[in-house]
Structure 1
C-alpha cells in the first residue's frame, strides 16, 4: 500500500493535480519566518525630533500607529518632518526650562497623558579644554542633561495627580562616550555620563507611577551621507557596518512593548560591538 500511495502521489505531481505543500503555522498562528507584535497605540513625546536619530524615532512610532509629538529648536526642519511623518511639532529651545515645561504640559493637556517619553535632544561641542569656555560647557549640559530631568519631572507630577499607576516608558538617549573618550570631549562626555546615571535614579523615582526608565547609548550612527562612508569605516565594526538612526529607533520600539516592563534602569549600548573590541596601536 505504501508503494501504491507514493506512486499515486507522484502521478498527481506529474499531472499537476497535486495540492502542493501547505505551510504549517506556528502556535501563534503566524507563518514560519513571520513575527506578529502587538503594539497598542501610544501617546509619544520626543525631544529633538526634527532630524537624525530623533526623526527616525518619530517615524518609527508614527509607523507603529502612535500619536507622536516632538519638539525641536529648528522650526523649519521640524515643520517639514511633522508634515512628512504625520506628527505634531512644537518649536522649543529645550535649554529654556519654562518653555520646555509648557510644551510637555501642553501635550499632556491635549492627550490626557504621555505614555512614552523619549529624551533624545543633544548637541556636541568638541574643543580643546584650554579653548572651551565655561559658558559653552554649561550650554551642553543645559541641552543634553537638564531636559531629561525637566520632562521626567513634568510627567511625574502629572502621574502623581492621576493616582493609579499605569503603563509608561521613559527612554533617554545617552552615548558610548559615557564610558570612553577622546581629547576635547569634556562637555559632551560629562552630559552623557550624567544621563546614564540619571537614568537609574529616575527608574527608582518613577516606579510608583508604573513608568520604566532606560537609556540607549549609540555608537557611531551616521545620520547623513551613509553612501560616502568607506570600507574601513564599516569594517572596523565587528558587525561590519556603521550604524543607522533606525538601529536606535527599533530599540525604542522594543523597550516600549507592553511586555518589556522587566527591562528597567538599564543602559543599552548599540554600537556594532565597538566598545567590546580590544584595540592596541
Structure 2
C-alpha cells in the first residue's frame, strides 16, 4: 500500500455517482480500497450498475436515492452512509444540473433549479458531510472550468460554478481546525453519456485536441482524497486540456 492509498476501512460518499464523471469516481475509489456510497436521482438502474461493477471487482458499494435539491435527502444520504459503513472519510460533491440559454431564453425555473442543485445543494452536502466526518477528512467538489471561461448562453451555469469555487475557499477555512481539507476540481469538456453525441465538436474546441475522460477526473479526486494532499485546501484545480487558457 502506498502512502496515498486509504486504509482498509476508509469510506467515500459520492453525491451524483451513478453516471458519467461521478460513476468513474465511484469505481476508481473502490478500486483504490474505499468502501463507497453513491447517490442517484433519476436512474436507479445506472446506480445499481455502478454498485454491481464495484462488487464484481471485490469492492463494497451502496446506492442511495437522494435528490441534491432536497436538504432532507442530502442529510439522509450522509446518515445512511455512516449507518452502513460506520464512518465517513471523503465526500465528493458531483451532483449538478446544466441549463444553457441566452438571457432572453432562460426561465425563472432554470435559475431556481440551478441555484438549488449547483449552489445550495453543494453547500448542504458539504455541511452534512462535514458534520459526520472524521478528523482529517476530505471534501472534494466537482465544479467546472466555466467558472473561469464563459461562453454565450452559459450565464447561470457559469455563475453557479464560480459560486462553488468561492464557497470552497471559505469553507476550507471553517474546517481547517479539524484537519478537513476542501478542494474543487474544474473539468472542461469530458466524455460522458450526455456529451457522447458531440465529442468531435467539443474536441475541436480543446487545445490538446480531445475531450477529457471520467477516469482522468477520478485520478485527481483520488489524489485529493489521500494523505499526500493534506497541505492543499481551498484550491480550485482546472483539468480541461487548456480550454480555459
Could you tell me which of 42, 61, 72 is aligned with 1:98?
Answer: 72
CA–CA distance in 1 between the matches of 2:119 and 2:197? 32
SS of residue matched to 2:185: strand
Find the counterpart in structure 2 of residue 155 from structure 1.
Answer: 129
Find the counterpart in structure 1 of residue 140 from structure 2.
Answer: 171
Q: Which gives a bigger RCO, structure 1 or 2 (Cα 8 Å, sep 6+)?
A: 2
Shift of 1:108: 1.9
Q: How does 1:262-277 map to 2 (within 5 A)?
A: 262-276=231-245
Find the counterpart in structure 2 of residue 6 from structure 1.
Answer: none
CA–CA distance in 1 between the matches of 2:106 and 2:21? 26
Quick check: 2:14–2:92 contact (8 Å CA) kept in 1?
yes
Q: Which shows bigger deviation, 196-205 or 86-95?
A: 86-95
SS of residue matched to 2:228: coil
Distance 1:182 1:234, change over 3 A: closer
TM-score if structure 2 supplies the norm length?
Answer: 0.88
CA–CA distance in 2 between the matches of 1:156 and 1:257? 16
Could you tell me which of 170, 180, 203 is aligned with 2:172?
Answer: 203
Unaligned runs of 5+ in 2: 56-60
Residues 1:128 and 2:102 aligned together = yes
Find the counterpart in structure 1 of residue 53 from structure 2.
Answer: 84
Find the counterpart in structure 2 of residue 26 from structure 1.
Answer: none
SS of residue matched to 1:275: coil
Q: Describe the superposition over 1:188-208 as per-residue Cα deviations: whole angstroms up to 9, x where unpaired.
A: 111111111111111011112
SS of residue matched to 1:50: coil
CA–CA distance in 1 between the matches of 2:98 and 2:202? 21
CA–CA distance in 1 between the matches of 2:151 and 2:132? 40
Find the counterpart in structure 1 of residue 216 from structure 2.
Answer: 247
Residues 1:50 and 2:24 aligned together = no
Shift of 1:226: 6.1
Shift of 1:110: 2.9
Q: Which shows bigger deviation, 218-227 or 130-139?
A: 218-227
Quick check: 1:174–1:217 contact (8 Å CA) kept in 2?
yes
How many residues align? The count is 236
CA–CA distance in 2 between the matches of 1:227 and 1:133? 26
Find the counterpart in structure 1 of residue 6 from structure 2.
Answer: 40
CA–CA distance in 1 between the matches of 2:40 and 2:18? 6
Shift of 1:65: 1.4
Shift of 1:55: 0.3
The two structures, once aligned, show a CA RMSD in angstroms of: 2.1
Find the counterpart in structure 2 of residue 142 from structure 1.
Answer: 116
- Compare CA radii of gyration and give the structure with the larger one: 1
TM-score if structure 1 supplies the norm length?
Answer: 0.78
Unaligned runs of 5+ in 1: 1-34, 160-164, 277-281
Find the counterpart in structure 2 of residue 72 from structure 1.
Answer: 40
